[in-house]
Chains A and B, each alone.
Chain A
Amino acid sequence: MAKAYDHLFKLLLIGDSGVGKTCLIIRFAEDNFNNTYISTIGIDFKIRTVDIEGKKIKLQVWDTAGQERFKTITTAYYRGAMGIILVYDITDEKSFENIQNWMKSIKENASAGVERLLLGNKCDMEAKRKVQKEQADKLAREHGIRFFETSAKSSMNVDEAFCSLARDILLKSGGRRLKNNNKPPSTDLKTCDKKNTNKCSLG
């Protein structure tokens, strides 16, 4: 029987409590937003299948509780993730500062080659902005990862963010396979370019 998808990628969202991880996942998986959410206790997940470069990619997106003490439970799931999305709230400076701690968590608990992505959520609330885009850009560059400002409410950049991470993972796994077949990777130039510069800056 043919599989309903070509690849299954596990993504994990982490970040402080209340930055909108669950909202982002619900926007991405169900294209829906309302104001009645419940705090995540432990771990939850949603699934969506997307088409990337002609491949059907099934994305299994894991949602985690943001509170510090849940780390003892959630870090167990870092290792299985192929991509980790770090989320902060652009109206909450502390959630941005804590990104460094979350980075450290990834380093300690996730697989070495895991793809990462930084998201500044709630970008529809421009009036309450506390974290400037440049700051986050700089941080993302330092870590050699992509960065998007998103809004689960207006759905701005949500699909783009998830798909770009999926594409990066695909390229990484696909690239290796294609290299073995002695075929040049057929990828979108812009993505490839950006990725390479980021990797360069990693040193």
Chain B
Amino acid sequence: MAQALGEDLAQPGELQDDSSSLGSDSELSGPGPYRQADRYGFIGGSAAEPGPGHPPADLIRQREMKWVEMTSHWEKTMSRRYKKVKMQCRKGIPSALRARCWPLLCGAHVCQKNNPGTYQNLAEAPGDPQWMETIGRDLHRQFPLHEMFVSPQGHGQQGLLQVLKAYTLYRPEQGYCQAQGPVAAVLLMHLPPEEAFWCLVQICEVYLPGYYGPHMEAVRLDAEVFMALLRRLLPRVHKHLQKVGVGPLLYLPEWFLCLFARSLPFPTVLRVWDAFLSEAPRWMGRGAKAQNEKARCEAVSSPWLLAGRAAHKLQWLLGPAGRCPHVAERLSVQAAELQEGGRSLAKDGFGLGLRAGPALREPHRPAGVKVLFRVGLTLVHGVALSELELQREIKAQLAQLPASASEPPPRPQARLPGAPAIFETQQLAGTQGAPRPEVPRIVIQPPEEPQPPRRKPQTRGKTFHGLLTRSRGPPIESPARSHRSSTSFLDTRF
């Protein structure tokens, strides 16, 4: 199982993101010498050099078609064919469709629809001076080498200000966390501010509740769970890290809080985000049902380490025995990138001990790469852990956390495990006509429905009769009704 998952995560030639959309307009009028931005918008292009490695154009087109098809009736897709969505997410969402897919996956489109005008009001309202100052200090410190965020007056930094301010007004008790900056920035690279805002809300409240709040209690819990899993699954890595005195809080906060946005090469970041929004971290329960299923899932199958797995897969393909020499050439670009990723992982995490540890001496230096690849190796070659075990670990770590009077305890159960759970919750809230309990909202039917799938019964009628002759206005006139009734008659006949 794990192996199979490893394969679909890292199919040859697919590790790099495709280039079907070439990014936003440039804002390079600011100071500094003009340099060409790469296809992700990074000036100087250290994140991703354009190369021959990305998927061929016809494959991208094919995937785009699949996504267009899936998203055109999203509710049906999610309720009946989530597996397909999951697989497609793991293969990577085509760049041209991320703007459409991310809000659908995380449920931001429903929030946005249920709260018309909310974002505009928040964006126009004056912010709390305390947060405005903190946010203002961070605006030029998010992806300073991305063309969108170069200029203080550019739409990148301005959008960031608006979205982050809107969040502090939307959740004044949560306020602004510096780690939300990079997350919002990556969202803004792909989405208009309003969509980016609702995606940020979903990430902060549904995917990672307790991560960005005043006490950041959930990050610390996850760090403990991560270490416990490492101890169980990769005891040697764990022992080594302990020996050199590297605790999880040294490298995990940046990885997890920023969703790897700064710790991996950018194409890999996007792939990780595609999978993250679809599946969310696995250290959370799916309730009793999932436990009974005994569905084996890899412990660290969580998207956090997808990249590590992909990296290892690549290493295997390019291995010394030359297992697949014909793909080696095509993959060389990704290899460089993943090495870069490995370096940043090593720099930020596992390699840290090699330089930082008190007992460490120079000859141990190469072990960092070994450690890194050991993680990848074990991930690929079937480290399995059931949901139940995972749950147990979370409970155990939760119990061990020192209780503090001033801080709320982490509530891992508040998380929803990815797109399907969010979809179900939203559906449930929709059918009950009641707002979701933790996020009180006024449900107002917007005058115009932006989502064609919701009109399904009506459009179906029109495909038989009125599609060519009638516009898609609200069917108020009586002839439509008669048409519809005859349609159902036709339906039964066919």
List residues of chain A with CB under 8 Å of any chain B CB: 1, 3-4, 8, 17-18, 35-39, 41-45, 47, 60, 65, 67-70, 72-73, 76-77, 80
CB-based closest 3 A-B pairs: A42-B253, A36-B144, A18-B137
Closest Cβ of chain A to B243, distance in Å, is: 15
Which of B12-20, B178-186, B291-299 participates in binding chain A? B178-186
Residues from chain A with a CB closer than 8 A to the CB of B253 are: 41-43, 70, 73
Q: Quick one: closest B residue to A3, CB to CB?
A: B361
Contact indicator B144/A39 (Cβ below 8 Å): no
List residues of chain B with CB under 8 Å of any chain A CB: 134, 137-138, 141-145, 177-179, 181-182, 213-217, 219-220, 245, 247, 249-254, 257-258, 262, 348, 352, 355-356, 358, 361-363, 407
Contact indicator B361/A73 (Cβ below 8 Å): no
Contact indicator A70/B178 (Cβ below 8 Å): yes
Residues from chain A with a CB closer than 8 A to the CB of B252 are: 42
Q: Quick one: closest B residue to A74, CB to CB?
A: B249
Excluding A4-B362, A42-B252, 9 further A-B contacts by CB distance (< 8 Å) are A37-B144, A38-B182, A41-B179, A65-B178, A67-B134, A69-B213, A70-B178, A72-B407, A73-B249
> A97 CA to B177 CA in the complex, in Å?
22
Q: Quick one: closest A residue to B347, CB to CB?
A: A44
Q: Quick one: closest B residue to A42, CB to CB?
A: B253
Contact indicator B257/A42 (Cβ below 8 Å): yes
Residues from chain A with a CB closer than 8 A to the CB of B352 are: 45
Contact indicator B178/A67 (Cβ below 8 Å): yes
Q: Quick one: closest B residue to A47, CB to CB?
A: B355
Contact indicator B249/A43 (Cβ below 8 Å): yes
Residues from chain B with a CB closer than 8 A to the CB of A41 are: 178-179, 182, 253-254, 257-258, 262
**Also in contact, A69 and B144, with CB within 8 A (given A17-B134, A39-B138):** no
Residues from chain B with a CB closer than 8 A to the CB of A36 are: 144-145
With beta carbons under 8 angstroms apart, the residue of A17, A38, A60 that contacts B262 is A38
Q: List 27 A-B contacts (CB under 8 A).
A: A1-B362, A1-B363, A17-B178, A18-B137, A36-B144, A37-B141, A38-B141, A38-B142, A38-B262, A39-B141, A39-B178, A41-B182, A41-B253, A41-B254, A41-B262, A42-B249, A42-B257, A44-B254, A44-B348, A45-B352, A65-B178, A69-B214, A69-B215, A69-B216, A70-B216, A73-B219, A77-B249
Closest Cβ of chain B to A80, distance in Å, is: 8
> A41 CA to B262 CA in the complex, in Å?
10
With beta carbons under 8 angstroms apart, the residue of B137, B217, B220, B363 that contacts A17 is B137
Contact indicator B177/A69 (Cβ below 8 Å): yes
Residues from chain B with a CB closer than 8 A to the CB of A60 are: 356
Closest Cβ of chain A to B37, distance in Å, is: 14
With beta carbons under 8 angstroms apart, the residue of B134, B141, B249 that contacts A76 is B249
> A45 CA to B145 CA in the complex, in Å?
22
Closest Cβ of chain A to B214, distance in Å, is: 5
Q: Quick one: closest A residue to B175, CB to CB?
A: A69
Residues from chain A with a CB closer than 8 A to the CB of B249 are: 42-43, 73, 76-77
Residues from chain B with a CB closer than 8 A to the CB of A70 are: 178, 216, 253
Residues from chain A with a CB closer than 8 A to the CB of B358 are: 8
**Also in contact, A76 and B142, with CB within 8 A (given A8-B358, A39-B181, A70-B216):** no
With beta carbons under 8 angstroms apart, the residue of B145, B216, B362 that contacts A73 is B216
> A43 CA to B361 CA in the complex, in Å?
22
Q: Quick one: closest A residue to B142, CB to CB?
A: A38
Residues from chain B with a CB closer than 8 A to the CB of A44 are: 254, 348
Contact indicator B220/A42 (Cβ below 8 Å): no
Residues from chain A with a CB closer than 8 A to the CB of B356 are: 45, 47, 60
> A143 CA to B446 CA in the complex, in Å?
62
> A38 CA to B214 CA in the complex, in Å?
21
Q: Quick one: closest A residue to B179, CB to CB?
A: A41
Closest Cβ of chain B to A15, distance in Å, is: 13
> A76 CA to B248 CA in the complex, in Å?
11
Residues from chain A with a CB closer than 8 A to the CB of B134 are: 17, 67
> A35 CA to B145 CA in the complex, in Å?
10
Q: Quick one: closest B residue to A76, CB to CB?
A: B249
**Also in contact, A43 and B214, with CB within 8 A (given A18-B137, A70-B178):** no
Closest Cβ of chain A to B164, distance in Å, is: 12
> A60 CA to B141 CA in the complex, in Å?
24
Contact indicator B178/A72 (Cβ below 8 Å): no
> A3 CA to B177 CA in the complex, in Å?
42
Contact indicator A73/B220 (Cβ below 8 Å): yes
Closest Cβ of chain A to B349, distance in Å, is: 11
Residues from chain B with a CB closer than 8 A to the CB of A47 are: 355-356
Closest Cβ of chain A to B320, distance in Å, is: 30
